[in-house]
Structure 1
């Protein structure tokens, strides 16, 4: 393949395993998904960067877990950016793409120039796993830590799952010759294979006493983990987000001595699950008096999806648990 030839790997996640190191991983490449997520809102650049990083983490982590329905990453903060939420929906059937969505809420008056992570303050990073009807959702939480969202995710896996995890990420706006500016993101996730039982107890050596990878792996595992991380340190930005290096070629370049083995690539697309029916269900717990307080001067109840921007206009007479009428037409 000649240098500069564009590859058709956009919006994909490639699972792999390093057989000589007992480490699994993912390579993710996103572009159209990010454009679809970010074009729904007029976010400041720092907020866009945080959403791009969160979406990339969501794609990498979501494909790692054997999902039947949804994985969510959420961040709550007392800083300028108050909340970031992203969802990864498992493919409905084999061969289908996974779907993703994300959004952020923020105080525009508090946004500053410079480092995106500086827009966050005290708060927490959460991973939520919902396998659908008939199951109990799982939630794991860790404090905001480090200097990037990837550090929060690494701290979560070390603290909550005792799985040494490492992310190398790159993202930003890109313009190729003859093309329009668009978002690109690429990343590699490494994760040590689970042990038979947790191996670390008590406080850790990470920020605020959190567990870190060095607290969990020992002996040969620690040597393998350190070697794989050293190799990942050599990855270059253009290898992560450039259009001319395939994920498989990247793995061979980085880890050829670790016997990388790849699995089936997973396509990812933007997708939202909002619908009029879901809006009506969410309003079904309210009384007619409550619904009246939500009704506009035009005599309608409106609702907007924070993820995709869909706008719903509903007849208040058809809403709430004591609605006397059946639903009518909506826009």
Structure 2
């Protein structure tokens, strides 16, 4: 059974670029599901990334959207990697209530070698390093940051470790990205991206039931084992059965997927939340940053009396007369 609440009709499906919150009361599970389409295309087409890099950015965007839409305050979630792989930096951020942006930095030579060797999975492109989850509640509030090592695990696995260490909430994440080749209304070849994901969290009333086995400390680790709660064990198995193409198939959609997973337990879906490809940069913000630099720094960026700044996220170019941005 799929139950709709708060004005969402049972057959009013969310569609692409809408996050669907859900609850499975019989399993003490809450979560969110999403499929991304046009919004993702807009982000990736702007940068014209090589296909392996585009896939990595898309997966990072899905993860950021799933986590960012859980924020209950005005602020921003930033998901950022720093690593030694061919793609040494990926940044995606979600600004409440609905703005998403992302970009990646990569080494073309190292990427070409990785492609020749068939090492193009997201975790292979990243290599070793860190993945930081930063929550920014504004200028008057202290940032919170959780850091998880990049050690060859997938982004799904890394997200689970983050929640285990930082939030202490049993969490299961599934992510998938698909490249579609079809034709538009005029019959011309068209390339599109789709991505989808689910995050499920175990939130029982009794905190003791949320206890999880500690992460293994290595050979000879004889720590006591903690049994996983039966309901969470059942929910995890259900989420793990999701096939990659189910997460991206437009004929399935989040609501149908949730029904497939939890219909025997009953799942309640809530009104979907739209997300948009919207950068947070502006001319005023860029001017303020430039004005905070030293005169020497400004002088090194002036060309023919003009300072030009390109936003890495949206590729918008801002030009300022040098006199506009002189340090105060």
TM-score normalized by the length of structure 2: 0.84
> For 1:136, what is the secondary structure of its paired residue?
coil
Contact 2:203 2:210 in 1 (8 A): no
What is the total number of aligned residue pairs between the two structures?
302
Aligned equivalent of 2:103: 103
Contact 1:162 1:198 in 2 (8 A): no
Could you tell me how far 1:12 is from its partner in structure 2?
Answer: 0.8
Could you tell me how far 1:245 is from its partner in structure 2?
Answer: 1.8
Contact 1:83 1:106 in 2 (8 A): yes
Aligned equivalent of 2:248: 241
**Unmatched tracts of structure 2, length 5 or more:** 1-12
C-alpha distance in structure 2 between counterparts of 1:163 and 1:240, whole Å:
23
CA RMSD of aligned residues (A): 2.6
* 1:175-217 CA-partner distances (Å, limit 9, x unpaired): 35656221101111111117648976996128999xxxx97x7
Aligned equivalent of 1:127: 133
Contact 2:21 2:31 in 1 (8 A): yes
Aligned equivalent of 2:91: 85
More strand by share: 2
Q: Find 2:194's aligned residue among 177, 184, 190.
A: 184
Contact 1:87 1:101 in 2 (8 A): yes
TM-score normalized by the length of structure 1: 0.84
Within the alignment, does 1:205 sit opposite 2:212 as a pair?
no
Correspondence 1:33-112 to 2 at 5 A: 33-91=39-97, 98-111=98-111, 112=114
Q: 1:278 to 1:198 in 2, by over 3 A?
A: farther
Within the alignment, does 1:193 sit opposite 2:200 as a pair?
no
Q: 1:145 to 1:15 in 2, by over 3 A?
A: farther
Aligned equivalent of 1:278: 285
Could you tell me how far 1:258 is from its partner in structure 2?
Answer: 2.2
C-alpha distance in structure 1 between counterparts of 2:90 and 2:161, whole Å:
17
Contact 2:76 2:135 in 1 (8 A): yes
* 1:1-35 CA-partner distances (Å, limit 9, x unpaired): xxxxxx76010100001101111111111011111
* 1:276-330 CA-partner distances (Å, limit 9, x unpaired): 111111112223333112112x2211111000000111111111323xxxxxxxx
Correspondence 1:115-264 to 2 at 5 A: 115-116=120-121, 117-176=123-182, 178=184, 180-193=190-203, 196=207, 204-205=215-216, 218=227, 222-264=229-271
Could you tell me how far 1:239 is from its partner in structure 2?
Answer: 2.4
When structure 1 is superposed on structure 2, of 41-50 and 188-197 the one drifting more is: 188-197
Q: 1:159 to 1:262 in 2, by over 3 A?
A: same
Q: 1:79 to 1:192 in 2, by over 3 A?
A: same
C-alpha distance in structure 1 between counterparts of 2:320 and 2:218, whole Å:
49
> For 2:16, what is the secondary structure of its paired residue?
coil
**Unmatched tracts of structure 1, length 5 or more:** 1-6, 92-97, 323-331
C-alpha distance in structure 1 between counterparts of 2:210 and 2:202, whole Å:
13
Could you tell me how far 1:89 is from its partner in structure 2?
Answer: 1.3
C-alpha distance in structure 1 between counterparts of 2:239 and 2:182, whole Å:
26
Contact 2:22 2:268 in 1 (8 A): yes
**Greater RCO (Cα-Cα under 8 Å, separation 6 or more):** 2
* 1:152-186 CA-partner distances (Å, limit 9, x unpaired): 11111111111121112211211356562211011
Could you tell me how far 1:73 is from its partner in structure 2?
Answer: 0.7
> For 1:188, what is the secondary structure of its paired residue?
strand
